[in-house]
Amino acid sequence: MIPLAIPNLSGNEARYLQQCIDSSFVSSVGPFVTKFEEMISEISGSNKTTATSSGTTGLHSALTAVGVKYNDLVILPSFTFIGSANSISHCGAVPWLFDVNPITWTLNVNQLHDALKSKTIRTKEGLIHKESGKRVSAIMPVYVLGIPAEMDEICRIAKDFSLPIVADAACALGMTYKKKKIGEMGADLSVFSFNGNKTVTSGGGGAVSGSSIELVQSVYHLTTTARVGSDYDFDRVGFNYRLTNIQAAVGCAQLERLEEFVQSKRNIQKQYNDALLQIEGISPFPDPAYGESSCWFSGVQVNSKIHKPVSEIRKELRANEIDARPFWKPIHLQKPYEHSPKESLDFTDNLWMDILTLPCSTSLSQSDQSKVILAVKNILS
Ligand SMILES: *Cc1c(COP(=O)(O)O)cnc(C)c1O
């Protein structure tokens, strides 16, 4: 079976892990954690980074640090992984779900602007969603598949309504927006994931970066039990969300190869595009002119009015020993979020089932990719 996406661990991973064992630094303090954070700050153009146990726990801590509280609403595109929504729920808050833009598949900024204008009211307590009476306390844009959201517009709206931005950049490392790095795009905090299926992995892990050293420091404080001083004193309800030195050792070895990995992800996507876009009813994943996608996942959009359903295509691919899996079912169709407030989600409703992801491991060989292309062509013809 040609796998969908497996990690590439052929660099310094084993050597760095051995150093953890030899030095006995295996837990949440150690030179690799510090190095990992410095590397992410450098790569993302941020002033400071704190490492977390996952992308989801990074998002939870980041939302808490910008002031999201129990019973608040946090603006989120419905077309995302469930972890984005869960991080909001972990704050006791509720996602307010928005559609994505057909051109970019990221947060629809016109809908965002219109809804904030017509459905909220400013009070002493903050921005209140009129229908539910809940306070709106943050915006979480998602760089879905590694595609940059329209951040200039989102930042302008956020400023107009005095809302902080926590960007879900979980799969976006390597992406650029108007030649800027992720940390320079205007979000207060940007959150990365290093889960096993991401372009670079630490086994499991995450990181929160920002330009405000104070704000990132407060995320660090939250993730390390909110301890004050070296005795057992704590000044708020904190979390145990720190990355370990073992995970960071793998993460450092992976980050050393980020450029190479992103380049190979982009090459793989380009080859699929070159071979498959000539087929009627097949369109590419978005590649907005204002930026460069990190191409976390490769694939195509299949017009199901012309072709068989993607679920059927996947079944046939698997019969050809090519791994294929469904892509994210949006948040508003998930049981825990069926009652979340939402705007019209017409585009998201029609998009998600038409997405066909294709094998895109950085180690994918030319002959395996040719095999995938041939199989897809046969199935679609
Ligand atoms: C991977 C991912 C997450 C979750 O990260 P974990 O490290 O698995 O918690 C959240 N949001 C998006 C968009 C992701 O791709």
One digit per residue, the tens of pLDDT, for the chain of length 381 reads 999 999 999 999 999 999 999 999 999 989 999 999 999 999 999 999 999 999 999 999 999 999 999 999 999 999 999 999 999 999 999 999 999 999 999 999 999 999 999 999 999 999 999 999 999 999 999 999 999 999 999 999 999 999 999 999 999 999 999 999 999 999 999 999 999 999 999 999 999 999 999 999 999 999 999 999 999 999 999 999 999 999 999 999 999 999 999 999 999 999 999 999 999 999 999 999 999 999 999 999 999 999 999 999 999 999 999 998 889 999 999 999 999 999 999 999 999 999 999 999 999 999 999 999 999 999 998
200 and 274 in a single domain? The answer is no
325 and 376 in a single domain? The answer is yes
Q: How many domains does the chain have?
A: 2
Q: What angle do CA 85, 87, 90 make, to 5 degrees?
A: 115
160 and 81 in a single domain? The answer is yes
Q: What is the pLDDT of residue 324?
A: 86
The Cα 352–Cα 330 span in angstroms is: 7
141 and 29 in a single domain? The answer is yes
220 and 242 in a single domain? The answer is yes
Residue 221 lies in a domain: yes
Question: Ligand 1 atom closest to Cα of 194?
Answer: 7
Residue ranges lining ligand 1, Cβ < 6 Å: 54-56, 80-81, 83-84, 142, 168, 170-171, 193, 195, 206
Alpha-carbon distances of 130 from 13, 20, 113, 158, 247, rounded to whole Å: 52, 53, 15, 18, 45
Question: Ligand 1 atom closest to Cα of 193?
Answer: 7
Token reading at 56: 């989801």
Residue 321 lies in a domain: yes
Radius of gyration of the chain (CA): 21
Token reading at 376: 């897809």
194 and 275 in a single domain? The answer is no
221 and 82 in a single domain? The answer is yes
Q: What backbone torsions phi and psi does residue 45 show, to the nearest 5 degrees?
A: 65, 40
Full domain range(s) for residue 45: 13-255
Q: Which of 211, 227, 255 is the last residue of a domain?
A: 255
Token reading at 265: 């992800």
266 and 244 in a single domain? The answer is no
Residue 6 lies in a domain: no
Alpha-carbon distances of 218 from 65, 169, 221, rounded to whole Å: 6, 19, 5
Distance 320 CA to ligand 1 centre (A): 29
Distance 329 CA to ligand 1 centre (A): 14
Q: What is the pLDDT of residue 115?
A: 98
Residue 178 lies in a domain: yes
249 and 297 in a single domain? The answer is no
251 and 357 in a single domain? The answer is no
- Please name every residue paired with 52 in a beta bridge, in sequence order, or none if there are none: 206, 242
The Cα 238–Cα 226 span in angstroms is: 5
Q: Which of 235, 255, 275 is the last residue of a domain?
A: 255
Task: Provide the whole-model pTM.
Answer: 0.98
